[in-house]
Chain A
Amino acid sequence: MKKGILFCICFILLSCDDFLDREPVEQISIDQQLSTLEGHFDALNGAYTEFEELYSSLRFIYADALAGNVKFAPNNQGIQSIDPRFEATYRFEEQESDSNFASFYVDSYQIINAINLILSRIDAIDGAEADKNLIKAQALAMRAFLHADLLRVYTQPYNFTSNASHLGIVYNTEPLQIGEDFPSRLTVAESYALVEADYLQAIDFFGNSSDNANQPEVFYFNELNTKALLSRVYLYMQQWDNSIRLSSQVIEEGPDLTPRNLLVSQWLDFNPISEALLELGPPIDQNDGTVRSSVSTYFQVITDSDDNIIENKRYSTSNDLSSLYTNDDIRSTSGLLKTYFISTQTSSGTEELPFTFTQKFSDRDGAIVIRQSEMFLNRAEAFAKTGRENEALNDLNRIKLRANPDAELNSISGQDLIDEILLERRRELAFEGHLFFDLKRNNKDIIREDGCTINLCRLDYPNPRFVLPIPESSILINQNMIQNEGY
């Protein structure tokens, strides 16, 4: 008996350290995760996974729904009302304590942290330099994108103050020490400078990296789309020459514009269109191929085999947008738009009313981030703003004529030309997340007519409501956080 007990004690004493060493079952510690190159690839892929989820969330429709491209189709009860997830935003009534975009803010920084964890540890591990560069380049590009996106949503445009000295965002270049670091907002100029630096560094690393083995290429950051994104950032920074330089490079090195005869069919198909530069692939189940969620969740109309509408996803196209297309424009109802008749409660009872939906996004489509057409439009705008009007018209007409070979080509100049380029941008990039930001950086007013059922359909620039409130969780916990004006 006595011996037995002594044995037990000894046995447990000897194996004590193992006994207490418990690794998580469904999880893995940071140290272990980031101890190998493979672990870094998985962590990077995790960042992509969350990035895709973030980008295809409510954030995807923000710029279009807010600025008048969207009209809300009736819900299942036939009532035309604003999507409750977006209602306060649409009304410009967002609150610090209850923001529809609070999770966009928080999730963006989650991904930024995931990236910074990778960047802070990758130099210490074994692996080929070219492989490490591939990881670093993608991580830097994603970090720049996320911060640039936060800048678009949470700050006034670059020219809001003369030297962009107004409030920017928190820009994290390394993981924060919780409880010790309470980061402050930089100015807009400083924030954009860091975005630019990250993109430039990413381009450098891409130049010395191994090839990305993952396919399709457009699902990942690469040298080409990073340049394209940088061309966009220069547009936001009003550095026209840089924007021209970068977009020219992409136009030269990148794919041709998707030709007219293929455009509609390629949009309708779930594969990225041929001119896509970066698209975030939807989450697809490996086993049965079903898609868990896609951006079509906003624009889809589900019908049964007899074409009866079962459900519409409510983000239909406003007349404000559809009236901008001529009849033979391929982007109108003769191509990319489709009209459905939907039961609607009106003052005179239930009526079947027409609602038009975009067909850019089928139920297995990814979320398009940037494509070649934008390069032409970016360059056109930059040319126009630097007085190179002929070159601007050339680029503009490339886009116009593809959509409609019979389009009327006016010889316009000055502000008219700039406005026409912006209008073409609205036509071409509709539902791809541009309109509100394009208006804002050009200091234009938000005007919503068709489908606007509330009192406040117009918001004149400048106005504090051109930016969203920093969520309460940051204001209350981060002692250095400053709220945007007006919230």
Chain B
Amino acid sequence: MKLVRLLTLSLLLSISWISLSQTGRDISGVVYNAKDSLSLPGVNIILKGTRAGAVTDLNGRFNYTVKRQPISDQQLVFKYIGYETQTIQLTNKSNFEVYLVPKTDDLEEVIITTSYGTTKLKEEAVGSISQINDRDLNVDQSYETIDKMIEGLAPGLQIEGNSQLGTSTRINIRGQGTFSPLDGNLLNASAQPLIIVDGVILSEENGFDDQLFDGGGRFGEQFLNPLSKIPPEDIKSISILKDASAVSIYGADGANGVILITTKKATKKDFTLTFSQQAGFSEPINPIQYLSGPQYHSILTDYFINSGESPEDANVSAGSDVINTDWFDLTNETGVFTRSQLNFSGSIGELGYRANMSYLNNDEVQIENRYENFRGSIGLGYSSQKFEANLRFIPSYVIKNNPNTLFSFPLPPNISPFDENGDFAIIGEGLIGNPLAVLEQNKSESRTLGFLTTLNLSYDINEQWSVSTIIGADLTDKKQDNFFSGNNATGRLSGSFEVDGVTYPNWGRKLVQNRNVNTYQFSSIISYKNQFGDHSVDGMFGFEAREERIKVERFLGSGYIIQNQNNGLEDAFEVNINAFTSENARSSFFTQLNYDYLKTYFITTSLREDKSSAFGGDIDAAYNGAVGFGWVLSKEKFMDVDAIDFLRYRISYGSSGNSRIGSYRARGLYNTNITSVNNGYNFGSATFPSTAPNPDLGWERNFKFNTGIDFNFLKRFKFTVEFYRDKITNIISSTNAVPESGFTTVQANTGSMENKGLEMALSSEIINTEQLKFDLNFNVSKNENTILSIENLSSEFSVAQRASALRVGESTTAIWGYRWVGIDPANGQNLYRVDNQLYSGEYVGNNFDSSNWEVIGDRLPEIYGGLQANFQLFKQWSLSARFVYNIGGDILVDQDFERTDQQVTNRNMISNILDYWQEPGDTSRNSKPGPGQPIIPNSTKYLYDNTHVKFQNLRLNYKLGDKLIESLKLNTANIFINADNLGYWYREGSRSDRNGIAELRFQYPEMRTITAGINIGI
């Protein structure tokens, strides 16, 4: 390296010597580092438009003679690796002092450490914080929310996605933060991280501990992803706070980690406008393969023979052997994705403004299903030397239509969707109807209006002291509107009603569900920073108050004379109305103090006091705090090695809590509206106990230990490794109560568990030249969960379908059940191994219960992570590819897809059912179809290894050449192609014509979406 530099230097010096002989202006100067004012050797100085120039010497000096005419118009370009390039016009000067500004690369990166306006250089931040900046974020991905776009980008961050648009993902930061609920309707403390946008906590969309409002069942509310409010293109950075020294400042709500989203500020600058348009297509990948009509007929014939019918009768009972209806094909088509975006920014006087509007329309693969998202943001910013104000207003509107939902219940393929008249055939009953009729006649729509408003004010009193205030509001108004038409089976309920002497069947159901969320937050912070020689100190003290009010309402109208999608509630014969309101308030004080000596030894401490209405007034405040140390070894003399750019050791310990359990949980409540009629018994007013009291309910605590090393070397590699151990105590769960107590569930502190793991991240600039850049980012995380103790929990009760149990020493995400051995070749019955003995399915079903279960898998992966590669060629072409992977982790597939018992008579099955035992000696997967077989849903038979690598995203971008852009009078212009979900590799492959993990992982397949688009900036 040095040799090359010397050679260049001598070469250039000789050039300049030659040029002395010609007429021109002699110029000279010194180049400094703008940050520390030290001189910079080896800086290239090039006369713009030529290849001629000079290089600074060891003292940063340079000399050159400019001969190109007119001399005053010439420009000098100063270039140095790691620094911003600077261009200076000669005018009439001949002596120059140039300060080059270092590029803010990752090492110098500014990390957002709290939502209270504090930032640190990455090398000075002690907490474990992974930050994803806008330049690392591909917002051209066809996903509707930011969480799905960042999968695989940060260690310790795991996104459990799903294939339904607009619904919430599960975000796990360093494993699952609370016990898995053992019963579908039980609600535990929130397992989601705290998401804070510009200082304001985003309200979660969750169910309540109330039968009607827990989101379960056919008439339940569909929860939407609160992140659909946030326009991804507006995001400046996403910080993921993981360890105690990072999250303790969030006290009682920080246990599951914190995600800070910072949106772009409006600053004083020239007017710019950019516009982008993107469009493409989606198609399902790895759809489940079901039986064809004739295959189904043959299986069903066997079923009836085995239930005692003669082959002739069975053939008739099995229905048509010619009709071959592919329900999936009939209810799906190619999806169309479009997104338009316009944003502009500029300033009026001292006031900067920024506005962004976007419209996303995903006309889904499922016919009639559509997801539309209008989002915008308006930002106003003012800053003077001492005062800064930023106002952001982020409105959003999401319309989700999904009448086409019957994918989870595949109908038999040998029935026709149409009757002889060509009308929709009446198929199914209850939940299920003719899917084609359902998607046309039913209605399922939700409209969500969101307003997120934040105002950040800060004022520097003097060099040391400053004050700031954050005021925010997060408002949501959602209306879900369902209609189940009586023209198909989904709306045909039993009973009748009478209007004007005419009796009608009790058909048609209309369900309107409203959710209204008002969240207000106020924080006020005073901060201090100072330097005393080699000692630096900074700190803050703040107060925060937050209030959240959620009101949900439910109107169920039944009995319609006319079965029309647009029927109102007023057309119903009877309307039932219910409401539930949850109010939460919290007030907190917090403080953080940072100290360092010589920028080598760092200490950070934080403390927070929280009081919450969730625990009633009697429970004491919760105190959480943390302390962290950092030691930059690379600044020590003994570590002065060329290859090491930066080496640091970090360690932290502290606590945080989880109070997000819904309101009034500890009180013991009476319901005042206990019937759907307007009064209680015999017209009297009536109240009835609804929630069990638990006066001892206390705060859930999460003690986090973290230690790590940051190591940057050879100027191009950055490596971080961290070990953590989170111990979660007093875990709040809704647990089953002894039924003789008069309550079925109670909120209690039910035990403790730990998450421990290892995270590694490596980023490297493998090639970094003008013409070619190649960088690679790789991360890997391992998490292990162990339940340490169980208290107050009366049992391990869980229904087999959920296959979960809580037992000390095991993981809370473990899947419990029986080991399936195979089919007994002698008689075709399922065989299971329990306590090292073989038993038939019938014996297991009759004699064993959950106490005989063993761990057969785990829902969460052992190891997960991502890999992202970016290429840039000739400054114009760039290509990035991202892979995410899971090692370990299992999925228990719904056994209903593969049942050989009476289920087979009313629904289609997957093609795997074709492999069934027929005569002694056969080894196959399934018993022969027949009635009355024992049902064991949670066994290894239906368990699949989810180890996979997913090609998550590929993006190719072409930036139009400077000349072309100039001739088009544009500022920037680029064209891109973006492909999401390109494909999977699974360790457990699937046989051809049969389904494996790839197909069965999602009941409804994921989409592969390929889009192309253009961005233009003026």
Q: Which A residues are closer than 8 A to B by beta carbons?
A: 1-2, 5, 8-9, 12-13, 16-17, 19-22, 24-31, 33, 39, 41-43, 45-53, 76, 97, 105-106, 109-114, 116-117, 170, 172, 175-176, 178-179, 181-183, 214, 219, 281, 283-287, 290, 292, 302, 304-305, 310-311, 471-474, 476-479
**Cross-chain contact A5 with B524 (CB below 8 angstroms):** yes
Q: Other than the known A30-B667, A46-B688, A292-B676, what 14 A-B pairs have Cβ atoms closer than 8 Å?
A: A26-B580, A26-B581, A26-B673, A28-B669, A33-B670, A42-B686, A43-B687, A49-B674, A97-B849, A113-B689, A178-B743, A285-B677, A476-B797, A477-B736
Residues of A with C-beta under 8 A to B495: 311
**Cross-chain contact A473 with B686 (CB below 8 angstroms):** no
State the interface size on chain B (CB cutoff 8 A): 80
Interface centre among A286, A311, A473 (most CB of B within 10 A): A473
**Cross-chain contact A24 with B524 (CB below 8 angstroms):** no
Question: Which residues, 810 to 864 on B, are CB-close (under 8 Å) to A?
Answer: 849-850
- Asked if B50 is at the interface of the complex by the 8 Å CB criterion, the answer is no
Q: Which residue of A lies closest to B671 (CB)?
A: A27
Question: Which residues, 650 to 687 on B, are CB-close (under 8 Å) to A?
Answer: 663-664, 667-687
**Cross-chain contact A113 with B682 (CB below 8 angstroms):** no
**Cross-chain contact A12 with B678 (CB below 8 angstroms):** no
**Cross-chain contact A46 with B792 (CB below 8 angstroms):** no
Q: Which residue of A lies closest to B503 (CB)?
A: A304
**Cross-chain contact A479 with B794 (CB below 8 angstroms):** yes
- Asked if B501 is at the interface of the complex by the 8 Å CB criterion, the answer is yes
Give A116 to B742 CA distance when docked, in angstroms. Answer: 10
**Cross-chain contact A20 with B585 (CB below 8 angstroms):** yes
Interface centre among B543, B687, B690 (most CB of A within 10 A): B687
Give A178 to B792 CA distance when docked, in angstroms. Answer: 9
Residues of B with C-beta under 8 A to A8: 469, 522, 524
> Assuming A22-B584, A27-B670, A45-B681, is B740 touching A109 (CB within 8 A)?
yes
- Asked if B920 is at the interface of the complex by the 8 Å CB criterion, the answer is no
A-B contact pairs, 8 of them (CB 8 A): A1-B457, A8-B522, A27-B672, A46-B681, A179-B792, A476-B736, A478-B738, A478-B794
B711-749 interface code vs A (CB 8 A; 1 in, 0 out): 000000000000000000000000011111111101010
**Cross-chain contact A182 with B794 (CB below 8 angstroms):** yes
**Cross-chain contact B743 with A110 (CB below 8 angstroms):** yes
Residues of B with C-beta under 8 A to A19: 545, 547, 585, 587
Residues of B with C-beta under 8 A to A111: 742
**Cross-chain contact A20 with B686 (CB below 8 angstroms):** no
Interface centre among A24, A28, A170 (most CB of B within 10 A): A24
> Assuming A49-B675, A286-B677, is B742 touching A176 (CB within 8 A)?
yes
**Cross-chain contact B670 with A46 (CB below 8 angstroms):** yes
> Assuming A8-B522, A109-B740, A476-B795, is B687 touching A33 (CB within 8 A)?
yes
Give A305 to B502 CA distance when docked, in angstroms. Answer: 8
Q: Which of B524, B587, B669, B675 contacts A27 (CB 8 A)?
A: B669
Q: Which residue of A lies closest to B738 (CB)?
A: A478
Nearest CB of chain A from residue B683's CB, rounded to whole Å = 6
Q: Which residue of B lies closest to A304 (CB)?
A: B503
**Cross-chain contact A20 with B674 (CB below 8 angstroms):** no
> Assuming A286-B683, A476-B797, is B746 touching A26 (CB within 8 A)?
no
Q: Which B residues are closer than 8 A to A by beta carbons?
A: 387, 457, 459, 461, 467, 469, 494-496, 501-503, 505, 522, 524, 543, 545, 547, 551, 574, 579-581, 583-587, 611-613, 617, 663-664, 667-694, 736-744, 746, 748, 792, 794-797, 849-850
Nearest CB of chain A from residue B639's CB, rounded to whole Å = 45
> Assuming A27-B671, A46-B687, A477-B736, is B795 touching A114 (CB within 8 A)?
no
> Assuming A22-B583, A27-B669, A302-B496, is B680 touching A178 (CB within 8 A)?
no
Give A76 to B586 CA distance when docked, in angstroms. Answer: 56
Residues of A with C-beta under 8 A to B740: 109, 170, 172, 176, 183, 474, 478
Residues of A with C-beta under 8 A to B584: 22
Give A171 to B685 CA distance when docked, in angstroms. Answer: 28
Q: Which 8 A-B pairs have the closest CB atoms?
A: A113-B742, A25-B581, A46-B688, A48-B681, A46-B686, A49-B681, A176-B741, A22-B613
Give A110 to B739 CA distance when docked, in angstroms. Answer: 8
Residues of B with C-beta under 8 A to A20: 585-587, 611-613, 617
**Cross-chain contact B692 with A284 (CB below 8 angstroms):** no
Q: Which of A26, A106, A214, A287 contacts B678 (CB 8 A)?
A: A287
Residues of A with C-beta under 8 A to B611: 16, 20
> Assuming A26-B671, A42-B685, A46-B686, is B792 touching A12 (CB within 8 A)?
no
**Cross-chain contact A179 with B794 (CB below 8 angstroms):** yes
Residues of B with C-beta under 8 A to A290: 574
Residues of B with C-beta under 8 A to A473: 736, 739, 744, 797
